[in-house]
């Protein structure tokens, strides 16, 4: 019989008395709040209702509050087979802001998010999340993928999908409890589709499916949210609801990095912009970075997108008509 399976020897009376005497050492000893060990994120159980974004592990909150940079990428190069997709990208993104990644199709925007998450392996470079490698911050990062990349025929309900965001607290091979279900329902209510909790995800509209994944990210209670085109293919009502949610996350000190395709709304929706076309073109506050010159360098004179950019710039009071006109390709209306 191995030592692990052998029955324990019966303790003597002296040993039993010694076990009870030290304060905080015995099972029956009283423990004060000062003596009690502080629970880690793994020890906490999900409360009923929405996650308390202002609470959480004290160490996590302290590190996040003290970090000026949410995401750092250095010398990142990614290729699919022999085709480079990202080339020598260096990037620092500030904490507590809404950040857009924009660029033409094939510029490597989605690949950048996947490289941060470790879903694709870079040829060179490294990534840090709140000043530490991603593997140490995995539970701090929430991901909302493109709808097109999801198997919507998988037989699961909206509530089940949202509950997946709580597995870090539930633990693998454990069944969700009533409190976890209430948290997931509260997150669905937050995005306005609580009544669809039991609906199969394949029966939801595109906008409703997007809200389900946003609710899952909320349930995860992340510090950094990576979103791949969260506004793509949704109706105006859903777009407003998503924007309201993102602004609330920012108010609570969270960081959102979103791949975005609509140049006309960049200045309205975001604080910081990353212009990407395989290489990093520019990165900084929208007011100083989302300029005609940088858009020209990013899109290379493409008629449709530059016309949209010019219209967006005209709506900004700090940009005059002559400057906006400089971004229009010749012959554009």
Judge if 321 and 192 occupy the same domain. Answer: no
Is the pTM higher than 0.85? The answer reads no
Q: Are 278 and 305 in the same domain?
A: no
Nearest by Cα to 323 from 331, 332, 333, 314: 314
Give average pLDDT by consecutive 10-residue segment, the chain, 333 residues. 42 43 36 36 44 46 65 95 91 97 94 95 95 92 84 84 83 80 91 92 88 89 93 88 92 96 94 96 96 91 55 57 48 47
- Residue 163 located in a structural domain: yes
For residue 95, give both structure tokens: 């904490």
Same domain, 317 and 276: no
Residue 135: inside a domain: yes
220 inside domain: yes
Element (H, E) at 18: helix 13-20
Residue-number span of the structural domain to which 296 is assigned = 291-333
Same domain, 129 and 73: yes
Is 275 in the same domain as 328?
no
If DSSP codes are grouped into helix, strand and coil, which group holds residue 324?
helix
Domain check: are 142 and 80 in the same one? Answer: yes
With vertex at residue 56, the alpha carbon angle to CA 51 and CA 59, rounded to the nearest 5 degrees, is 160
Q: Which residue has the tokens 């906006």?
A: 324
Instruction: Indicate the number of domains in the chain.
Output: 2
- Tell me, yes or no, whether 28 lies in a domain: no
Same domain membership, residue 298 and residue 285: no
Alpha helices in 109-231 (DSSP H): 109-116, 158-163, 167-170, 178-190, 206-220
Q: Check if the beta carbon of residue 222 is closer than 8 Å to that of residue 95.
A: no
76, 122 in Cβ contact below 8 A? yes
Q: Indicate whether 296 and 279 sit together in one domain.
A: no
3-state helix, strand, coil in the chain (%, to 5): 40, 20, 40
- Considering the domain architecture, whether residues 226 and 304 belong to the same structural domain is answered as no
Can you give the pLDDT at residue 312?
61
Query: Looking at the domain assignment, is residue 8 inside a domain?
Result: no
Q: Are residues 327 and 232 part of one domain?
A: no
């Amino acid at each position: 019989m191995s030592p692990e399976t052998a029955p324990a020897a019966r303790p003597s009376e002296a040993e039993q008395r010694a076990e009870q005497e030290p304060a905080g050492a015995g099972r029956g000893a009283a423990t004060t709040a000062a003596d009690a060990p502080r629970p880690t994120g793994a020890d906490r159980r999900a409360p009923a209702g929405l996650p308390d974004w202002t609470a959480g592990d004290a160490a996590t909150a302290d590190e996040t509050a003290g970090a000026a940079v949410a995401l750092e990428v250095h010398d990142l190069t990614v290729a699919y087979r022999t085709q480079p997709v990202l080339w020598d990208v260096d990037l620092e993104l500030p904490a507590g802001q809404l950040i857009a990644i924009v660029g033409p199709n094939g510029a490597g925007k989605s690949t950048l998010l996947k490289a941060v998450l470790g879903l694709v392996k870079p040829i060179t470079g490294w990534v840090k999340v709140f000043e530490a490698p991603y593997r140490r911050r995995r539970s701090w990062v929430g991901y909302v993928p493109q709808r097109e990349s999801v198997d919507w025929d998988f037989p699961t309900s909206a509530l089940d999908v949202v509950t997946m965001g709580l597995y870090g607290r539930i633990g693998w091979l454990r069944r969700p409890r009533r409190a976890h279900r209430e948290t997931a329902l509260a997150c669905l209510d937050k995005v306005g589709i609580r009544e669809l909790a039991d609906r199969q995800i394949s029966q939801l509209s595109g906008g409703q499916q997007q809200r389900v994944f946003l609710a899952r990210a909320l349930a995860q209670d992340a510090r950094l949210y990576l979103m791949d085109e969260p506004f793509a293919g949704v109706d105006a009502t859903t777009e407003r609801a998503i924007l309201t949610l993102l602004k609330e996350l920012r108010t609570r000190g969270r960081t959102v990095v979103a791949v975005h395709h609509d140049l006309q709304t960049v200045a309205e929706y975001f604080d910081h912009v990353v212009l990407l076309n395989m290489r990093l073109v520019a990165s900084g506050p929208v007011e100083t970075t989302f300029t005609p010159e940088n858009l020209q360098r990013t899109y290379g004179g493409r008629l449709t997108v530059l016309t949209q950019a010019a219209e967006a710039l005209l709506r900004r009071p700090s940009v005059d008509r002559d400057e906006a006109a400089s971004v229009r390709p010749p012959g554009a209306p």
